[in-house]
Amino acid sequence: MNRRKKLIFIVILIIGVIGLWKTKEKDDQPPNANYQYQITAPRLISYYQGQKRWDLAAKSIIKPKDDKRKRTILQTVKEGKLFIDGQLEYKLTAQKIIYLVKSKNAKLVGAVKLQEIDGLKIKADKLSWVESKTELQTTSGVQVELKNGQLTAQKMKLNLKEGIIDFDQNVKFNFKIRGGNSSEE
């Protein structure tokens, strides 16, 4: 009887060790980036075809209960990054970002600032991310600061797949003209 108890104890111990080892093995594996969005603490990270697309740090994240649209709301986005083909292309800030889980679209609201790493600066009150088109859009007015001027328009579409920015309605471009002497403007 004593021998049987020892044998049962050893079998249970072996099963327990194997279970702990399998759990540890799962924790050590790198995260699978095949999901669209990962939400942690006050941070949202999104992926597109296994590569990082968005990395947003906010003051707070709210997931409203009983929300039929299944929204995730980021309040006071203090540091945002937009990646294209794995490379950081834009930095952004906004008062609020509303992510719609079902469509994977997002609305950036309130003092939205999007700055291209190479220098282009875009300011708007509202921008919409359209996942199906891989595009940022606005119909509420936009201001773009370029190296040699400033462009304003009522509508804008920034297609990330094709690298094309389309401006429409009330488009105005103010540019700097430099004279022969480099100090003249």
| Total domain count, the chain | 2
Has this prediction a pTM greater than 0.75?
Answer: no
Distances 31 to 35, 50, 101 between C-alpha atoms, Å: 10, 11, 20
Indicate whether 49 and 131 sit together in one domain. Answer: yes
* 180 domain residue, yes or no: no
Neighbours of 80 (CB within 10 A): 22
Domain that holds residue 76: 37-175
Indicate whether 4 and 68 sit together in one domain. Answer: no
Closest CA to 136 of 119, 155, 150: 155
Q: What is the pLDDT of residue 179?
A: 66
pLDDT above 80 for 58: yes
Q: If you search the block for the tokens 């540019």, which residue do you land on?
A: 175
Indicate whether 100 and 142 sit together in one domain. Answer: yes
pLDDT band at 134 (very low <50, low <70, confident <90, very high): confident
pLDDT above 70 for 154: yes
Indicate whether 94 and 23 sit together in one domain. Answer: no
* 182 domain residue, yes or no: no
Chain-wide mean pLDDT for the chain? 80
pLDDT above 70 for 27: no
* 64 domain residue, yes or no: yes
